[in-house]
């Protein structure tokens, strides 16, 4: 038997492991081999950070699982009925504050557009939804402070309103044509949330099926958030150890517009996961990053992250996609500048 054949079972087992956990383990192994003292410091930093964030982590997991079990995502249907102006306001608020169908953004947005919902409210929801939700609010407050979480929420709603009303004005003047790509369906199970309204069962614990849904979702969120936060804290420990504060201050420090603009543009390609980004931005702010730049990075990265941007590109025609990116950049820059002035 060749060495490759002997190693194949090991590769098969590794392939079944979570890539995020593998990445965290690989980073730690590399650090231990290169600098054992830093390896021990990184492990200690990661465990301490996870312990400190644990109360907020538990609260965010419980909040998200309760919303899922109660069927709170059905509330989204209320945002897409009525006059266009009213729909835009409700869509921005629901996008920022309410969870939605776990089937994903793509089928939900496809359903809305296929059902004839005006592009203005859809754009408002698109822009607001990736930035914040109740679980993200709790974790943001735990990592960066309640004021930062409130600012992020206000930024999400404001950018949603900005994009929604801008598209509405363009539509009324006939400057936006068809928004949905040809050949798309009605949105599947995500579309059912807006096609068929179902009551929200707030006392979900009284039904066995909903209790099971709560614990299943809580377990899934625990694994998801735990692995991403662990990786983020490992990277933060290395950032603190090896990234010079002077470089951070020169690049994204200070209160000028240049630092916010830099963070906005960097956040677009560099942003990977909203939960992992929180500890990294916290560490950068501690090292001299301007708070406004930190907010701009999180907002711009959240809206234009790979899943969010792919959702828009997959269902919308190119002018709509370019408008989405433009609203994200301008809105994130404005949010960062305003927050920098306030704090």
Q: How many independent structural domains does the chain possess?
A: 1
Which domain covers residue 67, as residue numbers?
36-342
What pLDDT, on a 0 to 100 scale, did the predictor assign at position 193? Answer: 55
The reported pTM is: 0.77
What pLDDT, on a 0 to 100 scale, did the predictor assign at position 317? Answer: 84
> In this structure, how many other beta carbons lie within 10 angstroms of the beta carbon of residue 142?
20
The model's pLDDT over 245-255, given as tens digits with 9 standing for 90+, comes to 677 777 777 66
Is there a domain that residue 186 lies in? Answer: yes
Going by C-alpha positions, the residue among 99, 102, 120, 122 that lies closest to residue 112 is 122
Which range among 153-167, 215-229, 230-244 has the greatest average pLDDT? 153-167
Is there a domain that residue 14 lies in? Answer: no
The model's pLDDT over 8-38, given as tens digits with 9 standing for 90+, comes to 444 444 446 688 888 889 999 999 999 999 9
What pLDDT, on a 0 to 100 scale, did the predictor assign at position 41? Answer: 94
The model's pLDDT over 52-91, given as tens digits with 9 standing for 90+, comes to 888 888 888 888 788 778 877 666 666 777 788 999 999 9
Is there a domain that residue 5 lies in? Answer: no
More confident residue, 195 or 294: 294
Is there a domain that residue 91 lies in? Answer: yes
More confident residue, 312 or 45: 45
Do residues 135 and 63 make contact, with C-beta atoms less than 8 angstroms apart? yes
Do residues 157 and 128 make contact, with C-beta atoms less than 8 angstroms apart? yes
What pLDDT, on a 0 to 100 scale, did the predictor assign at position 304? Answer: 81
Q: What is the C-alpha to C-alpha distance for residues 59 and 62, in angstroms, rounded to an integer?
A: 5
């Amino acid at each position: 038997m060749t060495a490759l054949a002997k190693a194949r079972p090991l590769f098969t087992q590794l392939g079944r492991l979570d890539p995020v956990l593998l990445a965290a383990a690989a980073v730690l192994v590399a650090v231990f081999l290169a600098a054992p003292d830093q390896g021990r410091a990184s492990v200690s930093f990661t465990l301490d950070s996870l312990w400190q964030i644990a109360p907020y982590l538990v609260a965010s997991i419980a909040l998200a699982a309760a919303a899922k079990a109660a069927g709170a995502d059905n509330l989204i249907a209320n945002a897409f009925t009525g006059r266009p102006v009213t729909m835009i306001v409700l869509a921005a608020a629901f996008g920022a504050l309410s969870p939605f169908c776990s089937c994903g953004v793509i089928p939900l947005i496809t359903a809305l557009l296929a059902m004839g919902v005006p592009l203005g409210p859809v754009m408002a929801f698109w822009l607001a939804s990736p930035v914040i939700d109740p679980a993200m609010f709790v974790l943001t407050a735990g990592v960066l402070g309640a004021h930062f979480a409130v600012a992020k929420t206000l930024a999400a709603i404001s950018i949603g309103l900005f994009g929604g009303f801008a598209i509405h004005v363009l539509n009324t003047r006939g400057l936006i044509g068809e928004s949905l790509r040809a050949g798309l369906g009605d949105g599947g199970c995500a579309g059912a949330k807006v096609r068929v309204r179902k009551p929200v069962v707030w006392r979900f614990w009284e039904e066995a099926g909903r209790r099971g849904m709560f614990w299943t979702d809580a377990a899934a969120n625990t694994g998801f958030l735990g692995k991403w936060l662990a990786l983020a804290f490992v990277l933060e420990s290395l950032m603190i150890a090896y990234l010079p504060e002077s470089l951070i201050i020169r690049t994204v420090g200070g209160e000028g517009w240049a630092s916010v603009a830099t963070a906005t543009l960097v956040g677009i390609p560099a942003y990977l996961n909203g939960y992992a980004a929180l500890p990294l931005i916290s560490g950068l702010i501690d090292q001299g990053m301007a708070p406004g730049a930190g907010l701009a990075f999180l907002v711009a990265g959240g809206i234009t992250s790979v899943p969010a941007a792919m959702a828009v590109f997959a269902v919308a025609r190119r002018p709509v996609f370019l408008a989405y990116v433009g609203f994200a950049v301008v809105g994130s820059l404005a949010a960062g500048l305003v927050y920098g002035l306030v704090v």
